Amino acid sequence: MRLVIAGGGTGGHLFPGIAIAEEFLALNPANEVLFVGTSHGIEARLLPKLGYPLALISASGVKGLGTAKKVLSAARMLYGYAQSRKILKEFKPDLVLGVGGYASAPLVMAARGMGIKSFIHEQNAFPGLANKLLGRFVERVFISMKGAEGFFPKNRTLMTGNPIRKEILWGFQERQQRATEAFSLLIFGGSAGAHRINTAVIEALPFLEGVKEKLRITHQTGEKDQALVRDAYRAAGFQAQVSSFIDNMSTAYGAADLVVCRAGATTIAEITACGKACVFIPFPYATDDHQRKNAESLVNEGAGFLIVEDDLSGEVLAKQLLELMEDPKRLAAVERNARSLAQLDAAQVIVTAMMEK
Ligand SMILES: CC(=O)N[C@H]1[C@@H](OP(=O)(O)OP(=O)(O)OC[C@H]2O[C@@H](n3ccc(=O)[nH]c3=O)[C@H](O)[C@@H]2O)O[C@H](CO)[C@@H](O)[C@@H]1O
């Protein structure tokens, strides 16, 4: 069978798509997957490295744009629709799945027009624009969080959870034992990095002076802040591995005693799958403040800690980290609670449901 996975833009949309591709391909060696995205999305950078075929179409968002740019964006979408029809005619998929992000809209609409079985997956409790639109046209809407069903036609949603890549599931099984002396901190800000987290960590360093010999830090900064953050650690004499993007998140999660990160839906799914204790600093401008709600869904179950940006400072962050470093029993309890919330079979459930329809 052949499956097209459309969408991306950010890692939060793309990585669940990759998890579904892995599951679909593992079912039968004759199965084929084609990703469809845009040249400016994370998919264009990552998928060729991972060996997945990718077709590019023209697509962009409309949110927050003035009238002239909206018209331009609509024109791009129309062109993307024509490109999608051509791609679908050539690849002849049996199934099409939109995973959110601009490129999913023209592709899934084109697939529906051509009578190809189409589905979408929504990672968040509050759907993005593309999925809200597409929900009316597809056979099934796979959702990851309670609350999302309210945005889609009744009886069409299926709660599946958010698919997690196999390397991350396996990484959990191979995770390293906590080192006796050192304490490993993993810091990352979603797929693009988070400037506010980067600066808060830099401001926290003077307050962490007393534990600096013990700390081993892995810090993903995003493109812009890499030099700034690396220089700050160097100047303060901390041991830190700093990169703009971490290719192997499985190893990074595996080594971490504590994680500091945003609260995107895919991050949350992975944190629970790996059973990690985490200090969440949600991105406050996400639609309907959904990252805060994502974080609260864990924090309310004793499965993580929350600092909202309004309260964030170097001192507040350092205080939280110091408190947790001194309390391994509490960390272990939070890890267990996080793990108990994991949904590990989402990719399997989605692939089975698509093939049944
Ligand atoms: C600012 C914003 O609106 N962000 C949204 C975006 O987040 P974003 O794209 O940041 O996605 P998530 O936080 O959900 O997931 C990040 C993904 O990137 C991977 N990763 C991250 C860093 C790194 O160095 N290497 C790496 O591989 C993680 O393992 C994870 O798979 O999509 C999510 C899912 O739709 C939403 O919930 C978020 O609100």
ipTM rounded to 2 decimals = 0.97
**Which tokens belong to 298?**
């864990």
SS3 content of the chain, % helix, strand, coil (to 5): 50, 15, 35
**pLDDT classification of 342: cutoffs 50, 70, 90:** very high
Nearest alpha-carbon partner for 316 in 234, 237, 208? 208
Based on the fold, state whether residues 186 and 158 are members of the same structural domain: no
Q: What's 342's DSSP letter? A: -
Q: Which of 163, 189, 218 is the last residue of a domain?
A: 163
The answer, yes or no, to whether residue 172 has pLDDT greater than 70, is: no
Mean pLDDT, rounded, of the chain: 94
**pLDDT classification of 101: cutoffs 50, 70, 90:** very high
**pLDDT classification of 169: cutoffs 50, 70, 90:** confident
Per-residue buried b or exposed e for 297-328, using 16+ beta carbons within 10 Å of the residue's own CB: bbbeeebbbbbeeeebebeebbebbeebbeee
Alpha helices in 58-213 (DSSP H): 67-91, 104-113, 129-134, 166-173, 195-204
The answer, yes or no, to whether residue 178 has pLDDT greater than 60, is: no
Assigned domain for 287 exists? yes
The answer, yes or no, to whether residue 318 has pLDDT greater than 80, is: yes
Instruction: Check whether 12 is labelled as a binding-site residue.
Output: yes
Residue 146 pLDDT: 85
Residue 123 Cβ contacting ligand 1 at under 6 Å: yes
Over residues 294-323, mean pLDDT: 97
The answer, yes or no, to whether residue 192 has pLDDT greater than 60, is: yes
Tell me how far apart the alpha carbons of residues 35 and 18 are, in angstroms, rounded to a whole number: 9
Give the start-end residues of each E strand in the chain: 2-6, 32-37, 54-56, 95-98, 117-122, 140-143, 157-159, 183-188, 215-220, 240-243, 258-261, 278-280, 305-306
The answer, yes or no, to whether residue 174 has pLDDT greater than 60, is: no
User: Pocket of ligand 1, candidates 10, 229, 271: which has the most ligand atoms within 8 Å of its Cβ, to mutate?
Assistant: 10
Instruction: Check whether 267 is labelled as a binding-site residue.
Output: no
Between the CA of 244 and the centroid of ligand 1 the distance, in Å, is 14
Residue 84 Cβ contacting ligand 1 at under 6 Å: no
Tell me how far apart the alpha carbons of residues 215 and 218 are, in angstroms, rounded to a whole number: 10
User: Domain tally for the chain?
Assistant: 2
Assigned domain for 184 exists? yes
Nearest alpha-carbon partner for 192 in 218, 165, 225, 223? 223
Specify which of 57-66, 161-170, 192-201 reaches the highest per-range mean pLDDT: 192-201
Residue 253 Cβ contacting ligand 1 at under 6 Å: no
Between the CA of 169 and the centroid of ligand 1 the distance, in Å, is 17
Residue 262 Cβ contacting ligand 1 at under 6 Å: yes
Residue 108 pLDDT: 98
SS3 269: helix
The answer, yes or no, to whether residue 113 has pLDDT greater than 70, is: yes
Residue 183 pLDDT: 94
Nearest alpha-carbon partner for 276 in 249, 247, 312? 249
Nearest alpha-carbon partner for 95 in 133, 138, 135? 138
Q: Which of 116, 147, 163 is the last residue of a domain?
A: 163
Assigned domain for 309 exists? yes
Instruction: Check whether 38 is labelled as a binding-site residue.
Output: no
Nearest alpha-carbon partner for 266 in 191, 340, 351, 338? 191
Residue 191 Cβ contacting ligand 1 at under 6 Å: yes
Based on the fold, state whether residues 178 and 97 are members of the same structural domain: no
**Which tokens belong to 291?**
């990252």
The answer, yes or no, to whether residue 179 has pLDDT greater than 60, is: no
Assigned domain for 144 exists? yes
The answer, yes or no, to whether residue 228 has pLDDT greater than 80, is: yes
Residue 266 Cβ contacting ligand 1 at under 6 Å: yes
Tell me how far apart the alpha carbons of residues 280 and 304 are, in angstroms, rounded to a whole number: 7
Based on the fold, state whether residues 224 and 312 are members of the same structural domain: yes
Based on the fold, state whether residues 220 and 271 are members of the same structural domain: yes
Q: What's 176's DSSP letter? A: P
Based on the fold, state whether residues 211 and 107 are members of the same structural domain: no
Between the CA of 11 and the centroid of ligand 1 the distance, in Å, is 5
Based on the fold, state whether residues 159 and 37 are members of the same structural domain: yes
Between the CA of 174 and the centroid of ligand 1 the distance, in Å, is 23
CB < 8 Å & 24+ apart, contacts of 319-326: 319/207, 320/279, 321/185, 321/204, 321/208, 321/258, 321/260, 321/279, 322/207, 322/208, 322/211, 324/258, 324/277, 324/279, 325/183, 325/211, 325/214, 325/257, 325/258
Neighbour count for residue 231 (Cβ, 10 Å): 12
Between the CA of 102 and the centroid of ligand 1 the distance, in Å, is 16
**pLDDT classification of 69: cutoffs 50, 70, 90:** confident
Higher pLDDT, 348 or 147: 348
pLDDT tens digit sequence for 238-284: 999 999 999 999 999 999 999 999 999 999 999 999 999 999 999 99
Based on the fold, state whether residues 90 and 191 are members of the same structural domain: no
Q: Identify the weakest region by mean pLDDT among 6-20, 71-85, 176-190, 232-246.
A: 176-190
Tell me how far apart the alpha carbons of residues 284 and 214 are, in angstroms, rounded to a whole number: 32
Based on the fold, state whether residues 11 and 53 are members of the same structural domain: yes
Based on the fold, state whether residues 318 and 175 are members of the same structural domain: yes
Assigned domain for 345 exists? no
Residue 64 pLDDT: 72
**pLDDT classification of 111: cutoffs 50, 70, 90:** very high
Rounded to a whole number of angstroms, the CA Rg of the chain reads 21
Which residues constitute the domain of residue 272?
A: 168-340
Residue 173 pLDDT: 56
Residue 249 Cβ contacting ligand 1 at under 6 Å: yes
The ligand 1 atom at the shortest distance from the C-alpha of residue 168 is: 29
The ligand 1 atom at the shortest distance from the C-alpha of residue 287 is: 3
Assigned domain for 91 exists? yes
Over residues 344-351, mean pLDDT: 96
Percent of the chain with pLDDT over 70: 97
Bridge partners (DSSP) listed for residue 95? 3, 117
Tell me the one-letter amino acid at 147: G
The ligand 1 atom at the shortest distance from the C-alpha of residue 10 is: 9
